[in-house]
């Protein structure tokens, strides 16, 4: 078999059904074999879109997402998507073409050292040096991407190796020296954790994306109910615990609920499950949860003791460890604690004013009510992302797709296309901003031409909203380069109070129609529900633009460098 044939045969053996990418000179041989294969190939309009689509496919399904690009700029255009997947522990395999082996290092046309470039942002990467090692490398790539703490793996494949022939032997098993993830928790550590839970009077479960990666949502719920412990989730953990449950505290952190942050700060025991104590969760580290002992369950040893002191580390697969813990866990004396948490929830609910224009929170709440939580929701990054995290209230895992660690604008729409390709009969909704949507707006062509009827809700406030919010709160209202309606006629200094602003560019309805999608514009609250019903009814991609209040802010908010209890609570939350 030729190297290019080995690639496609390996993909079929890995049960790859769909992949995303963009062709070019140094990967044409693989595309030539893909042309007649049963794998559905979706041509995106930019390689970054391909990487995000593979990521969205992986997050929605739990399977490895696959993307492919040519050498040089094709490969480097994957970088943002790979970094996004790496930060959020998403299993992706990226295949890139490379110049022929004898030309590597000679500054050949469209040559880039993509292995060197992506080393810090991939779980592993390979430069294939012989066709004989290609079957093993392909098998190892999928194994590494999907086991242990998941992550992206890149395979750089020179042109001459794609053409070379060998007697291909596809390995059935993978044995990688030095790579042996631990799956079962140490029994002694599990017993210690069980004893701590039984003693605790103010425990909190802090659940992250590792719960979803492991498929441990049932075990998590069982522990919370059995031991009577309230649960808060990270942004990536949304859906790991149903937010309609009485024990749910919603999301914690910089834009988390007041009661989740209070509970973390007042707790005497934190059970961290598949989470990494990142800065958006802890706030000021020196002031974080001063009276809490910490149990940390994670499959990645490097994540434990990294940011906070851990009293009982348990290395292992979250699902396995929670299963072990559920066998011995007992409820402690938590009655008064649960009453206190319930009081916080009553006193400090998420709230917003419905005066002064259409509010983005209202749009998201209405979407949630109409879909009854059944939709797969993907978000871009910014204010709309945080409102979605607060008001979507997911009840199942793999239904809320967002860029957490890297915070990648332009992620949501192509990620939604990946999810829609995986689940053609599900409703897939994108919550985006007018800034983020334009980052990968070209993928409207991908959506239309591949019959991916994603519904894009653009919350248009005419600003790069989250940056503008920071400028308002911490930079004396100096809106530097954040107004998206600004043009050459505007004054040099603008405080956002001008009454006659230039027309907004672009007209999203005309853009949608130019690509063959449907366009809807909404400016009033009473129009929201009918517009959403119409969007969901249309059997093709829809861009629904909502003209929302320009200077609405996301609250609660913990200022950068502040302790979690020092949050700005916002309207009616004081």
* Residue 376 DSSP SS3: strand
- The distance of Cα 301 from the centroid of its chain, to the nearest Å, equals 22
75 close to 66: Cβ distance less than 8 angstroms: no
Dist CA 125 CA 350 (whole Å): 44
- Catalytic-residue membership of 466: yes
Neighbours of 335 (CB within 10 A): 11
Question: Sign of the CA dihedral 556, 479, 280, 389?
Answer: positive
- Tell me the C-alpha to C-alpha distance, in Å, between residue 195 and each of 121, 295, 330: 39, 11, 8
Whether the link from the prior residue into 355 is cis, omega within 30° of 0, is: no
Dist CA 283 CA 289 (whole Å): 10
Measured distance between the N- and C-terminal CA atoms of the chain, rounded to whole angstroms: 69
Partners of residue 127 on adjacent β-strands:
156
Kindly state the tokens that stand for 222: 């069982």
- Catalytic-residue membership of 277: no
Total number of residues shown for the chain: 574
- Catalytic-residue membership of 386: no
* Residue 11 DSSP SS3: helix
Q: Which of 14, 47, 243, 266 is catalytic?
A: 47
- Catalytic-residue membership of 159: yes
User: DSSP alpha helices (H): ranges in 267-312?
Assistant: 279-282
Dist CA 496 CA 86 (whole Å): 37
456 close to 430: Cβ distance less than 8 angstroms: yes
Helix axes 187-199, 318-328, angle to 10 degrees: 60
430 close to 454: Cβ distance less than 8 angstroms: yes
Kindly state the tokens that stand for 525: 């609250």
Kindly state the tokens that stand for 188: 């002694």
Using DSSP bridges, classify how beta strands 293-298 and 40-43 pair: parallel, antiparallel or unpaired.
unpaired
User: Of 302, 281, 245, 500, whose CA–CA distance to 405 is shortest?
Assistant: 281
Dist CA 188 CA 193 (whole Å): 9
Neighbours of 309 (CB within 10 A): 8
Q: Which of 5, 41, 110, 133 is catalytic?
A: 110
Dist CA 77 CA 22 (whole Å): 10
Phi/psi for 324 (5° steps) reads -65, -45
* Residue 87 DSSP SS3: helix
- Tell me the C-alpha to C-alpha distance, in Å, between residue 133 and each of 169, 170, 240, 408: 10, 10, 39, 35
Q: Which of 26, 265, 466, 567 is catalytic?
A: 466
Q: Which of 20, 87, 111, 159 is catalytic?
A: 159
Whether the link from the prior residue into 216 is cis, omega within 30° of 0, is: no
Give 505: exposed, middle or buried? Use CB within 10 Å, 0-12, 13-18, 19+.
exposed
453 close to 376: Cβ distance less than 8 angstroms: no
> What residues are annotated to the active site?
47, 109-110, 159, 466
């Amino acid at each position: 078999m030729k190297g290019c044939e080995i690639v496609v045969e390996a993909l079929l053996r890995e049960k790859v059904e769909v992949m995303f990418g963009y062709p070019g000179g140094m990967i044409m041989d693989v595309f030539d074999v893909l042309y007649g294969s049963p794998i559905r190939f979706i041509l995106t309009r930019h390689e970054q879109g391909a990487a995000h689509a593979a990521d969205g496919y992986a997050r929605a399904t739990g399977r490895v997402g696959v993307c492919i690009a040519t050498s040089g700029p094709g490969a480097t255009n994957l970088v943002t998507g790979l970094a996004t997947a790496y930060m959020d522990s998403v299993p992706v395999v990226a295949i890139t073409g490379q110049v022929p082996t004898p030309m590597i290092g000679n500054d050949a046309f469209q040559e880039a050292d993509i292995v060197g470039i992506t080393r810090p942002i991939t779980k592993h990467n390979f430069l294939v040096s012989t066709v004989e090692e290609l079957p093993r490398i392909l098998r190892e790539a999928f194994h590494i991407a999907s086991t242990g703490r998941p992550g992206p793996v890149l395979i750089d494949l020179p042109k001459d190796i794609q053409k070379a022939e060998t007697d291909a032997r596809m390995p059935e098993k993978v044995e990688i020296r030095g790579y042996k993830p631990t799956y079962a928790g140490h029994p002694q550590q599990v017993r210690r954790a069980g004893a701590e839970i039984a003693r605790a009077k103010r425990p909190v479960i802090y659940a992250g994306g590792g719960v979803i990666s492991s498929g441990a949502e049932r075990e998590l719920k069982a522990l919370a109910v059995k031991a009577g412990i309230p649960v808060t989730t990270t942004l990536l953990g949304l859906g790991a615990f149903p937010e309609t449950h009485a024990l749910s505290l919603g999301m914690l952190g910089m834009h988390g609920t007041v009661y989740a942050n209070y509970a973390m700060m007042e707790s005497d025991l934190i059970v961290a499950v598949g989470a990494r104590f990142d800065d958006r969760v802890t706030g000021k580290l020196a002031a974080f949860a001063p009276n809490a002992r910490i149990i940390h369950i994670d499959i990645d040893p490097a994540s434990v003791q990294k940011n906070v002191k851990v009293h009982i580390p348990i290395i292992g697969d979250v699902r396995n460890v929670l299963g072990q813990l559920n066998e011995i866990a007992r409820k402690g004396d938590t009655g008064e604690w649960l009453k206190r948490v319930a009081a916080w929830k009553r006193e400090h609910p998420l709230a917003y004013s419905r005066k002064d224009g259409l509010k983005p929170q209202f749009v998201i709440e209405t979407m949630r009510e109409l879909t009854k939580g059944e939709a797969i929701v993907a978000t871009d990054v910014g204010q709309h992302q945080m409102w979605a995290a607060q008001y979507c209230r997911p009840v199942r895992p793999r239904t809320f797709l967002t860029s957490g660690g890297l915070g990648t604008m332009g992620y949501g729409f192509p990620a939604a296309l990946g999810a829609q390709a995986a689940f053609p009969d599900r409703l897939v909704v994108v919550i985006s901003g007018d800034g983020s949507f334009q980052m990968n707006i070209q993928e409207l062509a991908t959506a239309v031409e591949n019959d991916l009827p994603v519904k894009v809700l653009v919350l248009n406030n005419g600003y790069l909203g989250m940056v503008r919010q920071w400028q308002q709160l911490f930079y004396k209202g100096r809106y530097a380069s954040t107004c998206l309606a600004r043009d050459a006629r505007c004054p040099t200094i603008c405080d956002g109070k001008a009454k006659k602003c230039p027309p907004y560019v672009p007209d999203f309805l005309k853009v949608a129609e130019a690509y063959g999608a449907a366009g809807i514009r909404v400016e009033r609250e009473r129009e929201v529900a009918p517009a959403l019903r119409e969007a969901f009814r249309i059997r093709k991609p829809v861009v629904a633009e909502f003209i929302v209040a320009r200077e609405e802010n996301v609250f609660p908010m913990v200022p950068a460098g502040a302790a979690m209890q020092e949050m700005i609570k916002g309207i009616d939350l004081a």
